[in-house]
């Protein structure tokens, strides 16, 4: 997915939010915005938004000399999500269709995102997503694909591409419900509030999946920036679950083995997918 002019204001907003989260001084914030203004003058609109967002967040990290401005926020997100885990597990235990329920919960968790969204109520989001119709609905293909992978189990695991810290807890519930072994893929280094290995372990993902990192701190999954090991794994996978907007933006042209589970949180993606902001999507690539 290409970058739209509508993304410009959003990049500035995100840079400012990241700078403030890292407690950058007002003059530092100004320097950061000035650098983002320069950067935006020279971007290639054929790049995906996460590729530009990446440069923006790298610039912020450089300027405030922090490896991970979102560290504290990520820990809080994980703790809050873990506090809901027993209630979510109880919902699953009572569900007529646990797979559907778990997929919805995983999508609900996608609200934990410090890029496009400023504020959210986690439990309200769960209740909304459980009741909401899918705007893109490839649930049948998703089940078929899971069945096929289940039959060939052992030879090629299901890859699950993580999105944000805290959302990881919701991913764990889906993984606990999936009938096949899962490799849970996190970022190779900090970017925005994306989950790294540390964040995944804090959410207990190491108990239910094999955690690997993709070898890069690029947002989404930019295959040519990932490690050879990850690309090998990706190319061999028969099914990939890709969470969140950035994975959608970077993998939307990658074929039918990828299933995108996300909430549509920005108007640019809404336009690209042809659905309203606030939609929930389970889409086959």
CB of 32 to its own copies, least distance (A): 9
Residues 248, 254, 260, 264: what is their CA dihedral angle, to the nearest 10 degrees?
A: 30
* Minimum CB distance to its own copies smaller for 40 or for 108: 40
Q: How far is the CB of 10 from its own copies (least distance, A)?
A: 7
**CA-to-CA separations, 30 to 16, 18, 36, 59, 283, in angstroms, rounded:** 9, 13, 10, 13, 40
Contact by Cβ (8 Å): 244, 167: yes
Cα 130 → chain centroid? 19
> Nearest approach, Cβ of 121 to its own copies (angstroms)?
17
Instruction: Tell me how far, at minimum, the Cβ of 84 lies from its own copies, in Å.
Output: 28
- Interacting residue ranges for its own copies, rule: CB under 8 A: 5-6, 8-10, 12-13, 16, 26, 29-30, 33-34, 37-38, 40-41, 45
Residue 280: how many CB atoms within 10 A of its CB? 23
Which phi-psi region, left, alpha or beta, contains residue 222 (left: φ > 0; alpha: ψ -120 to 50)? beta
Nearer to its own copies, 9 or 278 (CB): 9
Q: How far is the CB of 276 from its own copies (least distance, A)?
A: 13
Residues 235 and 96: their CA atoms lie apart, in Å, by: 35
Structure tokens at 172: 């764990």
Q: For its own copies, which is the closer residue by CB, 236 or 276?
A: 276
Residues 6+ away with beta carbon under 8 Å from 265: 111, 113, 115, 116, 117, 245, 277, 278
Query: Which CB atom, from 262 or from 269, has the smaller least distance to its own copies?
Result: 269
Nearer to its own copies, 114 or 259 (CB): 114
Q: Which is nearer to its own copies, 29 or 221 (CB)?
A: 29
Contact, 226 vs 216, CB < 8 A? yes
Shortest Å, Cβ 47 to its own copies: 14
């Amino acid at each position: 997915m290409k970058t739209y002019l509508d993304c410009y204001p959003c990049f500035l907003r995100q840079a400012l939010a990241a700078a403030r989260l890292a407690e950058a001084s007002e003059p530092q914030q100004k320097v950061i915005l000035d650098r983002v203004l320069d950067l935006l003058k020279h971007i290639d609109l054929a790049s995906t938004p996460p590729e530009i967002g990446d440069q923006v967040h790298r610039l912020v990290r450089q300027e405030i000399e922090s490896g991970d401005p979102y560290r504290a926020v990520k820990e809080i997100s994980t703790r809050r999500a873990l506090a809901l885990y027993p209630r979510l597990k109880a919902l699953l235990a009572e569900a007529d269709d646990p797979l559907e329920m778990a997929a919805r919960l995983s999508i609900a968790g996608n609200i934990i995102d410090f890029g496009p969204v400023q504020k959210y109520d986690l439990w309200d989001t769960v209740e909304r997503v459980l009741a909401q119709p899918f705007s893109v609905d490839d649930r049948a293909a998703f089940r078929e694909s899971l069945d096929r992978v289940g039959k060939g189990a052992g030879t090629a695991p299901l890859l699950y591409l993580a999105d944000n810290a805290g959302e990881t807890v919701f991913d764990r519930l889906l993984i606990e419900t999936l009938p096949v072994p899962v490799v849970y893929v996190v970022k190779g280094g900090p970017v925005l509030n994306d989950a790294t290995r540390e964040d995944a372990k804090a959410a207990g993902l190491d108990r239910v999946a094999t955690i690997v990192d993709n070898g890069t701190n690029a947002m989404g999954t930019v295959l040519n920036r990932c490690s050879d090991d990850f690309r090998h794994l990706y190319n061999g996978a028969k099914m990939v679950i890709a969470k969140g907007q950035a994975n959608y933006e970077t993998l939307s042209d990658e074929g039918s083995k990828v299933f995108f589970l996300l909430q549509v949180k920005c108007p640019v993606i809404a336009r690209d997918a042809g659905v309203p902001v606030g939609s929930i999507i389970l889409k086959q690539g």
